[in-house]
Amino acid sequence: MTESNQENLINSNVLDEDFSDAEHKSYKLYNFRRPDKFSKDNLRALRDIHREFSKAISLVLSGYLRMRVEIEIVSVDQLTYEEFVRSMPSPISVGVFEFEPLAGQILLGISFEVISCIVNRMLGGVGNIDSQSRELTDIEKALAKKVINIIIKSLEDSWNTIIPVTGKFISIDDNYQSIQVATAGEIVALLTFEVQISGKHFGLFSLCFPYPVLETVLGHLSTQHIFQTKGLVASNDERMKMISKINSSTVDVRVQFGTCSITLDDFLQLAEGDIIKLDNKVEDDLIVKVNDEKKFFARPGIMKNQVCVKITDVYDEMHEILRNYF
């Protein structure tokens, strides 16, 4: 083999290797049946938004139902609408709603364990779960609609930090088979939440966002955008809205008249008319607790034949220590 031929062969091999590497790097695997339309950053942003939502709705429902409700987001996935529908149990309460100005409809699914417990509580019960799954009655659906509207409102508040939206309830159904908000092959973002009620009842609820609903706002769905918007100063309207929500909240207020130590035997023998000597003096300020936290000093009194207290000062720990010392 001549030197010229050797050189041509070497150059040919080099070109083949370069072409092979370039060809290898010029493509990536693509699943036409189930394409990834949401990036990992989009899914992380959805998780961040709804992590805040889960905290907010836990407080809202706890106050509304007067029982402890804990909600935590457990997964964020993308799958086809057909796969989503097949994975859901039946019966299940499904709320259909819109986020104007976003196009399309969103699905909120609440498992029977959760909705039956909530409805039982709304009807005056202690929040028990029906032993057997069934479709809700018309009255139960009306109560479930109230709860769904509360969830939509809280969800709207969480999304308003990203883009201004207005939630609009559309309908409620007992399964997903009769609802068609997307084509079978359309990609959806599925967010799943675990619900604990009173620490003894467990269930799930889910949010389904079809891709066309979020397509126009994908640029806002990034962890960087969420991080930047969290530092924005609230407007006067937002402040007034927050104050109005706080004003309607109920708090537990108690007045501590004093303390004492007695034996268990003396405690068991207490009867009407017995006197217990407390460690407070008549002229001492009483301590007012708000949600079991010491907040104010007060003096006792009578107003319109009712025992009452008058706030005298904001609670100060050092003041209490010095008062007990002297």
Per the model's pLDDT, the better-predicted residue between 245 and 116 turns out to be 116
Distance of CA 323 to the CA centre of its chain: 44
State the pLDDT at residue 19. Answer: 43
pLDDT value at position 102? 92
- Given pLDDT bands bounded at 50, 70 and 90, which one contains residue 31? low
- Coil, helix or strand for 300? strand
Give Cα 182 distance to the centre of its chain. Answer: 25
What domains are there in the chain, each with its CATH number? 40-247 (3.40.1550.10), 253-325 (2.30.330.10)
pLDDT at 161: 78
Give the sign of the dihedral formed by CA 276, CA 280, CA 284, CA 290: negative
pLDDT at 219: 82
Q: Which residue has the higher pLDDT, 200 or 324?
A: 200
What's the pLDDT at 18? Answer: 46
3-class SS letters over 38-87: CCHHHHHHHHHHHHHHHHHHHHHHHHHHCCCEEEEEEEEEEEEHHHHHHH
- What would the pLDDT profile of 215-231 be if each residue is shown by its tens digit? 988 888 876 655 555 54
Q: Is 308 helix (H, G, I), strand (E, B) or coil?
A: strand
Range 16-43 average pLDDT: 61
pLDDT at residue 230, as a whole number: 53
Residue 91, preceding bond cis, omega within 30 degrees?
yes
User: Mean per-residue pLDDT for 318-323?
Assistant: 69
Which residue matches tokens 């010392």?
325
Mean pLDDT of the chain: 82
Q: What is the pLDDT of residues 240-284, one digit of tens each?
A: 777 777 777 788 898 888 888 888 888 888 888 888 888 877 778
Q: How far are the Cα atoms of 107, 211, 286, 291 from residue 100, in angstroms, in the given order?
A: 14, 15, 52, 38
In percent, the amount of the chain with pLDDT more than 90 equals 35
